[in-house]
Chain A
């Protein structure tokens, strides 16, 4: 890990009308880390991911991605960034291969590079048999894998995944995580948002988001130990933290 973090949020605030989605969130993710943004729906996970991707501008604070402001259209950050959004945002009326080809062209991949990367990505995502199938005819899990393949074509340094396992069956979920670990071995930095507490245990570090605030941060085992529960029972950690934050019992449920 190098000293300068790949991704950093410093006292970041973002609101939508009367709703404050993020209230002074600070975090830093180092190179090669798998960082989990864990929290319930409406906690501010997607807003944080979109700020990191440069799709939103912060109302206050500072966002840095690979040392640059990602919201600056002149920044070169897009060359080193991959995003798998929560929604299905590929071209449903294009085939698997056509989607891959399109995004490869946008990232300026040569024919040779595309051919080799396509082969590898189709292999690790097991989409090789479905190259002619339209994206909107893929199952939820396969669609996520295609989105991942499209985001990986240009070999980004940082990959942002917004609830990648949402709506995906358990088998595909496990496959997807195995795939993500393969990427970490290749030296990529991963930031994964998820509402599933059990997925926290798969990350190197997690940031627990609740009502726009980062209520805890650390390694999943370390956080579990602090609360006297098993790392596999991360939900108990989260609930305890929410209760402490609210100063009441059971309001977080």
Chain B
């Protein structure tokens, strides 16, 4: 066997032994990502349901009661309290006990029957824009449906043909028909966890070698820095692939994330993505003297990398200059590959740009890290 292969194998075996023996690192590599996937998968939820709603029904007629009942029948708005005046409703909003208050005026039924335009006031707590936006949409949609129905009833009563709206929207949601947040978010969380775990572990592992002096001991052996680096990276590439497999299994089993596409594309993209994440870890380690510095350095990189990846917020919602920055973030491309493959069954032909860019980033980062590592350890 070639001496370099012997050295490489020796480093891999050493890394595996050290990793397996360190229970905290093992937990960090295996159990922690799964636990975080569970917690974040459930916690990160953009679905707005069961918004607590207060009703002020000054009219208290069959029409107002029916209007409120049908509006609250869905799972968007939930009746929290029926109160007698606006002030009490506002107090509920201020205390956060209700997010929406519906106020029916005294002549609501009369105005409806007269056809003079009845009004329902909706007081909405705007401190949570997502929640309030969805609540306003629900109220407005219900009002429009109700109005259309009343117009049809009136037309029938007048002996006319029922009025049909000139344009009717027929929505059909593809890839995620139930519009489940988890289906969209879980692949992103998997990418994020892989980034956090591999970057931090790699950065701290090498910084530990430097801090404890073992790196110096290796420097007086014929071991080449490139072989040392390859040997240190290899076990974490394997662990990373296993982590992704576990994350996708949990995603499918617990959060019903579909696994529609070719998992070979996912494996290829993961491999290339890991080159970037581990390369960044190595790069941080070459810039750090202690494990503490490596840890802080890791987080300084991770935060913008996650925020500018499209995992949590859509890239198209970012300002143009910031969206432009995301083109230099490999996390973005990996998330696109995961979502594209898993949810849309996209092929390599559809995702080749992302895969190539992951490869380019991986090669650049690992080359840069390798060069710096050689320089700092020569």
Contact = CB atoms under 8 A, between A and B. Distances in A.
Interface in A177-228: none
B378 interface: yes
Contact of B221 (A78, A93, A94): A78
A85 interface: yes
Contacts of B212: 88-89, 92
Contact of B222 (A55, A79, A85, A94): A79
A70 to B, nearest CB: 9
Contacts of A94: 14, 17-18
Interface stretch (B4-12, B89-97, B354-362, B365-373): B4-12
Contacts of B14: 91, 94, 98, 102
A89 B10 CA distance: 17
Interface in B5-61: 6-7, 9-10, 13-14, 17-18, 21-22
B377 to A, nearest CB: 9
B213 A108 contact: no
B10 A91 contact: no
Contact of A108 (B13, B218, B222): B222
Contacts of B7: 105-106, 108
Nearest to B19: A93
Interface residues of B, number: 24
A106 B220 contact: no
Interface residues of A, number: 26
A94 B212 CA distance: 14
B216 interface: yes
Interface in A49-96: 53-55, 73, 78-79, 81-83, 85, 87-94
A91 B18 contact: yes
Contacts of A78: 220-222
Contacts of B3: 108
Interface string A89-123: 11111100010011101111000000000000000
7 contacts: A78-B221, A93-B17, A93-B21, A103-B221, A105-B9, A106-B222, A108-B222
What 7 pairs across the A-B complex have the smallest Cβ distances?
A105-B10, A89-B213, A89-B217, A73-B378, A106-B221, A108-B3, A83-B220
Given A79-B222, A85-B217, A108-B3, 5 more contacts: A55-B219, A78-B222, A93-B21, A101-B10, A102-B10
Interface of A: 53-55, 73, 78-79, 81-83, 85, 87-94, 98, 101-103, 105-108
